[in-house]
A and B are shown apart, each in its own frame.
Chain A
Amino acid sequence: MNKLVNSIREAIALSGLQDGMTVSFHHHLRNGDHVLNMVMHEIAELGIRDLTVNASSLFDVHMPLVDHIQNGVVSHVLADYISAGLGKAFSAGIMEKPVQFRTHGGRPCDIASGKTPIDVAFIAAPTSDTMGNCSGKYGKSACGSLGYAFADAMYAKRVVVITDNLVPYPLADFSIAENYVDYVVQVDAIGDPRGIVSGTTKITRDPVGLVMAQYAAKVIDASGLLKDGFSFQTGAGGASLAAAKFLKDIMLKKEIQGSFGLGGITGYMVDMLKAGCFKTLLDVQCFDLGAVESIRTNPAHREISALQYASPGSKSAAVDSLDVVILGATEIDTDFNVNVHTDSQGCIMGGSGGHSDTAAGAKLSMIIAPMFRARLPIVTDRVTCISTPGKDVDVLVTQGGIAVNPAKTELKNRLIDAGLPVIDIAELKEKTERITGKPQKLTHGDRIVAEVISRNGDILDKIYSVS
């Protein structure tokens, strides 16, 4: 049996891809990814049209997608996250059908259930053998975990592995197994390593970020959740990493051994693992070289699929066992609804990713955000777009005070007892507006350019074109 084919074009032809079908991509190569552009170029050359692209995330490196949309090659897009440059094009209304935003848990759930079937999945694999056993841990384009690609590989009708590091059969330490793979293509480069993972993710030096990070660590300390068996997820942003550093100091001082660190993993989480703060890291995506090195060499650092990470359709998912998650926000309203999809002009610039999944699952979901960015307050009467519903958000940490969801009375009392500067969210909004002034109400265009699908499948909110 020979799965190895000579080119991407040949693999597309063999896959049986036709007009109106769905292709999928994963985003572990992030802004260094070449695969989506290479594949879509070949598809366009073959004259195939009216495709749905189901991508776990889209980055600005994927700007050629705009041409494919305008030329009719792509007519629908499903994604968990779309970065600002590409988001601007979608917000301008380049596509007739609205983008469907899902969460990192909702996407694999709908793929597995057949709600969003995939005809052909293209797996960017930093290393693969000739039968398609593949891994992200090795090769010049190593990205670590391939967590978001598992559902695509398991449920797509046809699976094409594209690699720039073809090794003899069998690759022992594989992530995705050959039994899911139809074709293997070798190319010169699947991506640009400079855009795939950061050299080192660094904690912020911004004094305001550090103040918020210290508050965040103190909130966790005071929450009652910080004890042996503690589990934790944080992002790769500077303030989130700083919070992890301060949390690590507290855990070491109090000799607390946590259970697991979850999510997109950075070198800081690896440091916490090495220091004994956690027994295990459950990794759906690596953010930096430290994380890639760790997942390759440390058996306690485990790759997990997005199904295991966050799918509400799985028999259990790691987010359901999570104690604390630290998340960001572009806006949060006085009902604690959070926006991570649009910027202050209503333009698409992100997406939920795992935001809603972890907020729903964690016992304590905490938003860290400055009181204002540039001249715009972070707290509003109503967010431009609900990405994560307020019922799943417990606390907002800003440099000007800590707002606790009124439904969390016990948490609020704990924070007050710990001497933390707790403030009512409406009061925080007024305090901020005394500095920034009250922004004018945003107006938007008439067209719906995106729908935000909750992790349970409902339409949570709609994003309109920018006026």
Chain B
Amino acid sequence: MRRSMLFLPGNNPNMLINAGCLGADAVIFDLEDAVSPAEKDAARLLVRNTMRYMDLDGCEIVVRINSVDTDFWRKDLDTVIPCKPDVILLPKSAEPADIRLVDEYISDLEEKLELQKGGVQIMPLIETAMGVENAFAIASSCKRVCALFLGAEDLTADLQCKRTKEGREIEYARQRLVVAARAAGVDVYDTPFTDVNDDEGIVQDARLAKALGFTGKASISPRHVDVINEVFSPTLAEIEYAYEVVEAIRVAKEMGKGAVSLRGKMIDAPIVARAERTIAMAKALGLDRTEV
């Protein structure tokens, strides 16, 4: 379960050391934009040591390495892969070849280090016009891809438009990424809301992302984590409905009925699948039926 993903600068020990306490389902140790070229080596070591020695209380570890058009990405992987991060977030993913390049490099490292092959997943960060255009191909480029991730700041720069809180300029990209990811059978994560002082804005932005079909949302501020977790958790009404769907299906099967309706609507396979996902998530969050 990955609702919230929190960026933490790879060169900030105080933040790294508290990574497991900030409430996020996943933390993203950033070796890219948050770290100046002169500090890349120090950040790599800090991130490596954090993964080696820190208990992150079950929090998933994502590392944003530098993009494949830099001299840094191989060294990033050399340093972090031995610590077995859950996911590598690959910035400026524009073509399937970018993903395959990283996939092959990780595979070589896994073999060399005798690590489980394919144990590390890749999350392409789509933040260029070319990346949006190639979204489905990128999402299906290799088995390691677990999700697409929209990065709106760089994308709007590439689109030559202004980034706004309302986000009209990224509507197309958001919808395109959701469609591409779902078509490829992977998850999809929304861009961070960057005004850390706008408490209402983050709520609206997270709700919009959920409504569009995103699996979760990234954040650059720990202050946004709780809101994101709340928005992307199933509501009690959703959990109740999911149990009703499953129960209706069970009863229909017992009675040998083909078509099933609930609350005046037909229940088909996608609705059942969604209900099962909701129940699984509710159980993972400790929201079992007794609380409904």
Determine if A431 and B55 form an interchain contact, defined as CB atoms under 8 angstroms apart. Answer: yes
Question: Which of B16-24, B61-69, B153-161 is near enough to bind chain A?
Answer: B16-24
Residue of B whose beta carbon sits closest to that of A400:
B21
Determine if A207 and B55 form an interchain contact, defined as CB atoms under 8 angstroms apart. Answer: no
Determine if B18 and A399 form an interchain contact, defined as CB atoms under 8 angstroms apart. Answer: yes
Q: Check if B247 is an interface residue, CB within 8 A of chain A.
A: no
Determine if B21 and A208 form an interchain contact, defined as CB atoms under 8 angstroms apart. Answer: yes
Instruction: Give 1 or 0 for each of A435-462: 1 = CB within 8 Å of chain B CB.
Output: 1000000000000000000000000000
Contacts A214-B226, A434-B55, A435-B54 given; does A207 touch B286 at CB 8 Å: no
The answer, among B15, B23, B286, for a CB contact under 8 Å with A211, is: B23
Chain B residues, CB < 8 A from A431: 55
The answer, among A205, A210, A419, for a CB contact under 8 Å with B286, is: A419
Contacts A434-B55, A435-B54 given; does A207 touch B17 at CB 8 Å: no
Q: Check if B223 is an interface residue, CB within 8 A of chain A.
A: yes
Chain B residues, CB < 8 A from A207: 15, 18, 22, 221-223
Determine if A399 and B21 form an interchain contact, defined as CB atoms under 8 angstroms apart. Answer: yes
Determine if B286 and A208 form an interchain contact, defined as CB atoms under 8 angstroms apart. Answer: no
Contacts A434-B55, A435-B54 given; does A210 touch B223 at CB 8 Å: yes
Instruction: Give 1 or 0 for each of B215-237: 1 = CB within 8 Å of chain A CB.
Output: 00000011100100000000000
Residue of A whose beta carbon sits closest to that of B54:
A435
Residue of A whose beta carbon sits closest to that of B23:
A211
Residue of B whose beta carbon sits closest to that of A431:
B55
Instruction: Give 1 or 0 for each of A200-219: 1 = CB within 8 Å of chain B CB.
Output: 00000101101100100000
Cβ distance A417 to chain B, nearest Cβ, rounded Å = 11
Cβ distance A204 to chain B, nearest Cβ, rounded Å = 11
Cβ distance B228 to chain A, nearest Cβ, rounded Å = 14
Determine if A211 and B55 form an interchain contact, defined as CB atoms under 8 angstroms apart. Answer: no
Determine if A211 and B21 form an interchain contact, defined as CB atoms under 8 angstroms apart. Answer: yes
Chain A residues, CB < 8 A from B226: 214
Cβ distance B291 to chain A, nearest Cβ, rounded Å = 10
Cβ distance A306 to chain B, nearest Cβ, rounded Å = 37
The answer, among B17, B54, B222, for a CB contact under 8 Å with A210, is: B222
In whole angstroms, what is the CA distance A371 to B15 when docked?
13
In whole angstroms, what is the CA distance A400 to B222 when docked?
15
Determine if B223 and A208 form an interchain contact, defined as CB atoms under 8 angstroms apart. Answer: no
In whole angstroms, what is the CA distance A435 to B19 when docked?
12
Determine if A435 and B17 form an interchain contact, defined as CB atoms under 8 angstroms apart. Answer: yes
Chain A residues, CB < 8 A from B20: 400
Instruction: Give 1 or 0 for each of B184-203: 1 = CB within 8 Å of chain A CB.
Output: 00000000000000000000
- Majority secondary structure of chain A interface residues (helix, strand, loop or mixed): helix
In whole angstroms, what is the CA distance A139 to B53 when docked?
57
Chain A residues, CB < 8 A from B18: 207-208, 211, 399
Chain A residues, CB < 8 A from B15: 207
Contacts A434-B55, A435-B54 given; does A211 touch B17 at CB 8 Å: no
Of the candidates A210, A214, A434, the one having the most CB atoms from chain B within 10 angstroms of its own CB is A210
In whole angstroms, what is the CA distance A268 to B256 when docked?
63
The answer, among A211, A419, A435, for a CB contact under 8 Å with B22, is: A211
In whole angstroms, what is the CA distance A207 to B286 when docked?
25
In whole angstroms, what is the CA distance A419 to B222 when docked?
20
Cβ distance A430 to chain B, nearest Cβ, rounded Å = 11
Cβ distance A191 to chain B, nearest Cβ, rounded Å = 34
Cβ distance B224 to chain A, nearest Cβ, rounded Å = 10
In whole angstroms, what is the CA distance A419 to B53 when docked?
27
Residue of A whose beta carbon sits closest to that of B223:
A210
Chain B residues numbered 160-210 whose CB sits less than 8 Å from any CB in chain A:
none
Chain B residues, CB < 8 A from A400: 20-21
Instruction: Give 1 or 0 for each of B5-22: 1 = CB within 8 Å of chain A CB.
Output: 000000000010110111
In whole angstroms, what is the CA distance A399 to B222 when docked?
13
In whole angstroms, what is the CA distance A208 to B19 when docked?
10
Cβ distance B255 to chain A, nearest Cβ, rounded Å = 39
Cβ distance A418 to chain B, nearest Cβ, rounded Å = 11
Of the candidates A207, A211, A399, A434, the one having the most CB atoms from chain B within 10 angstroms of its own CB is A207
Chain B residues, CB < 8 A from A208: 18, 21-22
Residue of A whose beta carbon sits closest to that of B20:
A400
Cβ distance B105 to chain A, nearest Cβ, rounded Å = 32
Cβ distance B100 to chain A, nearest Cβ, rounded Å = 37
Chain A residues numbered 191-243 whose CB sits less than 8 Å from any CB in chain B:
205, 207-208, 210-211, 214
In whole angstroms, what is the CA distance A400 to B54 when docked?
12
Instruction: Give 1 or 0 for each of B114-143: 1 = CB within 8 Å of chain A CB.
Output: 000000000000000000000000000000
Cβ distance B52 to chain A, nearest Cβ, rounded Å = 12
Contacts A400-B21, A419-B286, A435-B17 given; does A211 touch B54 at CB 8 Å: no
Cβ distance A438 to chain B, nearest Cβ, rounded Å = 15
Cβ distance B292 to chain A, nearest Cβ, rounded Å = 15
In whole angstroms, what is the CA distance A90 to B136 when docked?
70
In whole angstroms, what is the CA distance A269 to B168 when docked?
41
Chain A residues, CB < 8 A from B54: 435
Cβ distance A435 to chain B, nearest Cβ, rounded Å = 6
* 7 A–B contacts, CB within 8 A, in A order: A205-B223, A207-B22, A207-B222, A208-B18, A210-B222, A419-B286, A435-B54
Listed in ascending order, the chain B residues whose CB lies under 8 Å from chain A are 15, 17-18, 20-23, 53-55, 221-223, 226, 286
A-B residue pairs, 5 tightest by C-beta: A207-B222, A399-B21, A208-B18, A400-B21, A211-B21
Q: A205-B223, A434-B53, A435-B54 are in contact. List 11 more A-B contacts (CB 8 A).
A: A207-B22, A207-B221, A211-B18, A211-B21, A211-B22, A214-B226, A399-B18, A399-B21, A400-B20, A434-B55, A435-B17
